[in-house]
Structure 1
Amino acid sequence: MVSERSGPPADDPFGGREPTSHERMTGLPWDASYHEGRAPWDIDGPQPAIVRVVSEGGFAGAVLDAGCGTGENALHVAALGLSVVGVDVAETALAIARAKAEDRRIEIEFAAADALRLETLGRRFATVLDCGLFHTFDAGERPGYVASLASVTEPDGILYVLCFSDDGPDAGPHPVSREELRAAFNPGAGWTITDIQPDRIHTRFHDDGAPAWLATVTRS
C-alpha cells in the first residue's frame, strides 16, 4: 500500500508541496477545481481515446494513472480486472473517485501523490497513463516530471500520454507540439516514442473534443 504522510499545515492549500506552474498562474491548488461542481475535464466517463486503447489491449500488468482526477479512466481499466493505482494531488477528486469505486464495486486503489515525486510510491508499473497532465507543466517542469514517470515505469513498460495539441482550431489550454513531446520523452531521459497520433480530448466545453495528441512511449 502507499504509505501515508502527516498532513500539511491547515493554511497550506498546496499540501506542503511546491505549487506547479499552472497553480501559480491561477493562484489556486488543483483541488479547488472540484469545489464547485465538476471540473472542465470531468466528463462523467472515460476519455474515448482511452476506451479505444483499452479495447485494443493496450493496458496490461500493473497500471498507474498519474493525475487520475475523479477516476473515470482508472475505473474503466480496473473493470477489466487489472491492478490499478490512480494518484492525484486533489483530495476532493480522490474522495469522489473512491466513492465511485465503492458504488460500482470495482477493486482499485486511489492515493494522494505528487506527480513530480512519484518515486515516493515505491512501486513500478507495466503500463502508465497520463491523460491531460503533461500539458499542464511548463518547459521547466517537464524534465522533472518525465524523470518522475521513469522512476515508476518498468523497463519496456508503456506510457500513454493524451495531451492538448497545437494542431487544429479550438485548441485547449496549454497546447503541446509534437516536437515538445519528442524533446521531453527522449532516449537520454530513458524513453522512446513509438507513435504520436492526432486524437481528441473531450471536455465539458468542447462538443466534439479539443485537438489532442495520443503518444505511445516505451521505457528503455
Structure 2
Amino acid sequence: MSDTPDFRHSGAGNPWHRPDDLYASRPPWDIGRPQQAFLALAEQGEIRGRVLDVGCGTGEHVLMAAGLGLDATGLDLAARALDSARRKADERNLTARFLLHDARELADLGESFDTVLDCGLFHIFNDEDRSSFVESLRSVVRPAGRYFMLCFSDRQPGDQGPRRVTRDEIESAFAAGWYVDSIEPTTIDITSDPEGVRAWFVAATRI
C-alpha cells in the first residue's frame, strides 16, 4: 500500500469536478456501514432531532439516523451515490431523504437541523470553499445544535489523498459563531487498509 489510499480527490483543484466519477467504482471510504465514531455517538444518544449528513455518499449515516427513528436527510453532489443510498433505504424499509445539493449552499434549503454529520467532506475544501461551507453550515444549524465531523488529519503520513487538516485550522474555521467542544484523534475506516487513516473527530456547538 502507498502512504495513503487513492481517495480519488484532494484539496488541490476543484473537488466538485464530475463528482459521479468518485463512484464509478466503489471508493475506499464506502465501507457499507457507519463509521465507529458516529456509531458511538448514536449509542450515546448524541444524534438527535432533525439530522443532516453533508456529503452523505451512499447514505450509511443517514440510514443509521433513520433507524433511530429520526428525521434524516443526506445530501451530496454525486447522483450515483444518492441512487445507491435510496436503494439501501428501500431495501432496509427505512424512511430518509436524499438530495442532490451543494453543501456550500445549505441556506437554499430553507430548513434547520439539530445535528449535522460530516464524514470526509470538510477536508476536501480549499480555504475559500471551507469558509463558505462553515458559513453555510451555520445558516441551517439551530442554536445549540451540534456538528460532528471526521476529517483527514495532518498526522496521516504521505501526501496522497485529501488535504491534511490541522487542529489549528479546525479551530480557526469554527472560531466565529461556534464553540469547539472537542478535537480528538481517531481513524476513518476504509476498505483498502484495515488500519484506516488517521483523522480528527470534531464536535462543535452552534452559538
Deviations 1:155-184 (A, max 9, x none): 110000110111254685311110000000
Query: Counterpart of 2:50 in structure 1: which amino acid?
Result: A
- CA distance in structure 2 between the partners assigned to 1:194 and 1:51 by the alignment: 19
Kindly indicate whether residue 207 of structure 2 is the aligned counterpart of residue 217 of structure 1.
no
Q: Distance in 1 between matches of 2:71 and 2:114?
A: 10
Using the size of structure 1 for normalisation, the TM-score is 0.85
The answer to whether the Cα contact below 8 Å between 2:152 and 2:162 also exists between their aligned partners in 1 is yes
Q: How far off is 1:78 after superposition? A: 1.1
Secondary structure (helix, strand or coil) at the match of 2:194 reads strand
- Give the AA of the match of 1:206: D
Amino acid at match of 2:180: I
Aligned AA (2:178): W
The equivalent residue for 2:85 is 97
Shift of 1:25: 5.1
Please give the residue correspondences for 1:1-220 in structure 2 after superposition, counting only pairs within 5 Å: 22=11, 24=13, 28-35=17-24, 37-169=25-157, 173-186=162-175, 188=176, 190-220=177-207
Name the SS of the counterpart of 2:147 in structure 1. Answer: strand
4+ residue stretches of structure 1 with deviation over 6 A? Answer: none
Higher RCO (CA 8 Å, separation ≥ 6 residues): 2
User: In the TM superposition, what whole-angstrom CA distance separates every residue of 1:110-167 from its partner, at most 9, and x where no partner exists?
Assistant: 1111011011111000001111100000112111010010011001100001101112
Deviates more, 1:204-213 or 1:75-84: 204-213
Residue 205 of structure 1 deviates from its aligned partner by 2.2
Preserved contact between residue 63 and residue 126 of structure 1 (Cα < 8 Å): yes
Q: CA–CA distance in 2 between the matches of 1:108 and 1:175? A: 32
Cα distance between partner residues in 2 of 1:32 and 1:103: 25
Q: Secondary structure at the match of 1:157?
A: strand
Q: Distance in 2 between matches of 1:26 and 1:193?
A: 26
- Distance in 2 (CA, whole Å) between partners of 1:158 and 1:46 is 18
CA distance in 2, matches of 1:184, 1:52: 25
Identity of aligned residues (%): 43
* C-alpha deviation, 1:30, in angstroms: 1.5
Number of positions where the alignment pairs a residue of Structure 1 with one of Structure 2: 198
Partners of 1:108 and 1:23 in 2: how far apart?
33
Q: What are the ranges of 5 or more consecutive residues in structure 2 without an aligned counterpart? A: 1-8
1:73-108 Cα distance to aligned partner (Å, 9 max, x none): 111121010000001111110000000000000011
Structure 1: which 5+ runs fail to align?
Answer: 1-19
Give the Å deviation of 1:52.
1.1
Contact 2:179 2:204 in 1 (8 A): yes
